Amino acid sequence: MRQLNELNKKGTFPCMASMIRNRLFTSIQKPRVIIMLVKAGAPVDQTIKTLSVYMEKGDCIIDGGNEWYENTERREKAMAELGLLYLGMGVSGGEEGARHGPSMMPGGSFEAYKHVEDILLKVSAQVSDSGPCVTYIGKGGSGNFVKMVHNGIEYGDMQLIAEAYDVLKSVGKLSNEELHQVFSEWNKGELLSFLIDITADIFGIKDDKGEGYLVDKVLDKTGMKGTGKWTVQQAAELSIAAPTIASSLDARFLSGLKEERVEASKVFKSGGFGDILAVPTVDKKELIDDVRKTLYASKICSYAQGMNLIRAKSMEKGWDLKLGELARIWKGGCIIRAIFLDRIKKAYDRNPDLANLLVDPEFAKEIVERQSAWRRVVCLAINSGISTPGMSSSLAYFDSYRRERLPANLVQAQRDYFGAHTYERIDVPGSFHTEWFKIANQSKM
């Protein structure tokens, strides 16, 4: 060890490292393709800086991390100036994806994609009826953007499942054994998915450090890595309503206030509020069926919001993304993989210009069939003092979208009143302004 330290002090190691890197790069078949998996941000830039010194025109760098899409676009442009090709590739699948193949979303240089297409097709998750879960997403940072929205949808999915659990446990008084059975049964039908499957497993795991079940010992404080926040920020930037995804982010923020919530519970308990308000006895079987329908209907809204966000960014950037193809590559490998995605692909196959998943004939029919149960569950949760922000905001999204006329006319009148922002009329074209204050004062005389 002493000899190694002496070599290091003399600067021998940097020389050796340089020699090793040179030999490594000269041994790779040209054009060289380097895939890096490092933490997003500055470490990626530093790694690219180090790699690019040893690369030649036509070589390719692929970033397989969850990177902010604009960083990918910046890097692709910088690499192009050096004659190098660049791909920003979103990868989803977690530990299981690493073992059995992930869903991959490469965007950037199409020439770079063609260099690695054969490999990606082989290492990606394979779905028997739709093939490898990878495709060339599009130009620029489209791959990273699609992966970001995938994660936003994932936030919504997880929140909706958590709310279903809360209603069943807190109002229905289902035990963990019953919850395990319910979610296992749900995973055989329309809700069949990776997240429902693992949720069923979670309810069946006993605590190895004490009595009872492990899920009950897990602290109710959710972490996050930022992609959900990015999704909500992008929705706001593009004026796309994404209330289900936004509410799931807010739920995580509120879960982080554990100490404050503990103190708040003491304050309101003294005012007669327990964790759950008094509610009538419910029929377990009926409640389980209602919650299943609510979860499915809310899920449609969450995916509709995510797909609309992707389409809006695609139009802004000229990416020409194929929404049905995105649903296809999410059917395997990724965290939101579900049988439900096949329905989404078919919806966009039927109509590539579909304005919203809610108005696809099949999804519209299913929403109508489930909306009564949906309203019952949301009302039951509100009356029980249980927060269901995902289910409630999904229902509000549906109710707003399906109505021909909203109270926005009053909001616009208010804006014109205090700020002379003008308004449009339903009967005469053009923009109008009214001296609301003057007319109101005259009428008071």
Q: Is 415 annotated as a binding residue?
A: yes
Q: Does an H or E element contain 103, and which?
A: strand 103-108
- Find the helix or strand (DSSP H, E) in which 108 lies: strand 103-108
Task: Report the candidate in 239, 245, 281 with the shortest Cα–Cα distance to residue 159.
Answer: 245
Active site residues: 147, 154
Burial of residue 368, with CB atoms counted within 10 A of its CB: 0-12 exposed, 13-18 middle, 19 or more buried? exposed
Q: Is 155 annotated as a binding residue?
A: yes
Asked whether 75 and 88 are in contact (CB, 8 A), the reply is yes
93 annotated as ligand-binding: yes
> Which residues lie below 8 Å from residue 7, measured CB to CB, with a gap of 6+?
13
94 is an annotated ligand-binding site residue? yes
Could you tell me the sign of the dihedral formed by the alpha carbons of 156, 157, 162, 165, in that order? positive
Residue type, 220: D
Length of the chain counted residue by residue: 445
- Is residue 66 part of an annotated ligand binding site? yes
Pairing of strands 33-36, 60-63: parallel
**Residue 421 known to bind ligand:** yes
Please give the Cα distance from 56 to 353 (Å, whole number): 42
Q: Tell me whether residue 150 is annotated as binding.
A: yes
Question: What six digits make up the tokens of 95?
Answer: 């530990």
Q: Whole-angstrom Cα distance, residue 142 to residue 24?
A: 31
Q: Write the CA distances from 318 to 81, 140, 305, 311, 357, integer angstroms.
A: 22, 10, 20, 10, 22
Q: Is 97 annotated as a binding residue?
A: no
The encoded tokens of residue 320 equal 């020409």
> Which pair of tokens denotes residue 326?
């995105």
Question: How many angstroms from the chain centroid is the CA of residue 105?
Answer: 14
- Which residues line the annotated binding site for substrate? 66, 92-94, 150-151, 155, 225, 252, 415, 421
- Which residues line the annotated binding site? 66, 92-94, 150-151, 155, 225, 252, 415, 421
